[in-house]
Amino acid sequence: MRVTEVWLFVAVVLATSGCGESGKHTGAPPASVSPAATAETSEPAVEDRTSTPDAPAATPPPVTPPSTTDPGTEPPPPPPPPAKDALAVAVWLPYWASTSSMDTVKAEVGKSINEVDVFAYSLNTDGSLGVKAHAHDAALISAIHANRSLAFMTCTGDGASTVVPSATLRAAFVKAVVKECDTWDLDGADLDFETLASTNRKDFTTLCKDLASALHDKSKLLSITVIAKTADHVSWGAADALDYAKLGKIADSFKLMTYDYSGPWGGPGPIGPIYWSEKVLAFCDTAGVDKTKTYLGVPFYGRDWPASHKPGAKDVPALTTTAAEALALSATKAVTLDEKAGEATFEYVKAGETHTVWFTNDDALKAKAAFAKKKGLAGICCWSIGQDGVDFWKTLAEAKK
């Protein structure tokens, strides 16, 4: 497919659509990267990433040719596409999502959700795909498309250290991804590689370029999810390997993991503060990343710090929004919205010890959506389904307008 045809397709998809386990990282990272840079990744006890988310299918419907019995008859014009939403909403659906989470997706696509990224794939060391629950759910994909929304496969880079440096294995991976998208009628692929080394920088860029080209040839899209940072070269290899300037040009959508700013590696603080996101976006501008393809990462989770916490200790659990709001019922210091951070916080006492909680509640979600709109971004990407609050979907539906 030629470049002009690719972007014509992208425009059609966006027009018709109306359009990470808590954070994804682990330890005490450099100041220019999310402080979650060295946090340990583990399968969450709750639906979170503990280490730092209906249109016809991607191809527009064919136009019926004129009747062969009446050559003068022209087909009626197609209905005009719906107005593009002011803010697109993408959400990650993790492989451990519950039945109720699946029901939420099916109920909200086309209303509060524009894109569902099925977080159920991994990169094997031979370039093939590892597949988990929800990956091959034809009914789910059909429901997403029936409600004029996009369905993407999200693939993590588990085998990246072996595959990325090898041209042969990269080609195998590209072929596997394109086949998966074709076979299951997915609109594209989302890469979430968080285990890269600095030495993988050039090869990872090449992989993304090759994959984008192959997907575009099939009228599919490439999303690249990146660790948030405020400078190009940083000490954490996984973030240093991300060449924002080049990846921003390759990707059809550029998703920033602007969360896990605070965590077990330090003291109490906001998970994805707006003041930090400002700095990340400033670097994106410097790197030439197009705002109209950039998504702001929004955490659907919080964390709970006991007063006795020491940096690095594993006593700062991730909380779903519902769990945080339940704890807030016994707050000794009422829930308040930190306006600079765009995040909610409160204190409570357990067994005589004061705990500090930071999380995204409905007011925080409104603040972050408004910030993304103000910055002229394509949308927000939310980690993840299953950690959301009761009013989140109503808020997101309003934010899209």
- Residue 333 belongs to some domain of the structure: no
pLDDT tens digits along 129-156: 999 999 999 999 999 999 999 999 999 9
Lookup: tokens for 388 = 């959301």
Segment 36-42 mean pLDDT? 40
What's the pLDDT at 13? 41
- Residue 29 belongs to some domain of the structure: yes
- Residue 289 belongs to some domain of the structure: yes
Q: What is the amino acid identity at position 109? A: V
- Residue 350 belongs to some domain of the structure: no
* This prediction's pTM: 0.84
Alpha carbon dihedral 166, 202, 24, 365, in 10-degree steps, equals -140
What's the pLDDT at 77? 56
Distance of CA 327 to the CA centre of its chain: 27
pLDDT tens digits along 207-222: 999 999 999 999 999 9
Asked whether the predicted pLDDT for residue 232 surpasses 50, the reply is yes
Q: What is the amino acid identity at position 286? A: T
Segment 284-310 mean pLDDT? 98
Say which DSSP state 134 is in.
T
- Residue 189 belongs to some domain of the structure: yes
Say which DSSP state 40 is in.
P
Q: What is the CATH number of the domain that holds 182?
A: 3.20.20.80
What's the pLDDT at 386? 96
Segment 151-167 mean pLDDT? 98
Our count of domains for the chain comes to 1
Distance of CA 273 to the CA centre of its chain: 17
What's the pLDDT at 83? 57
What's the pLDDT at 93? 98
Asked whether the predicted pLDDT for residue 73 surpasses 90, the reply is no
- Residue 339 belongs to some domain of the structure: no
The mean of the pLDDT values for the chain is 86
Domain that holds residue 395: 3-57+81-321+362-399
- Residue 154 belongs to some domain of the structure: yes
Omega before residue 42 within 30° of 0, cis: no
Q: Would you say 94 and 21 are in contact if contact means Cβ atoms under 8 Å apart? A: yes
Distance of CA 107 to the CA centre of its chain: 19
Say which DSSP state 268 is in.
S
- Residue 346 belongs to some domain of the structure: no
Give residue 84's pLDDT band: very low, low, confident or very high (50, 70, 90): confident
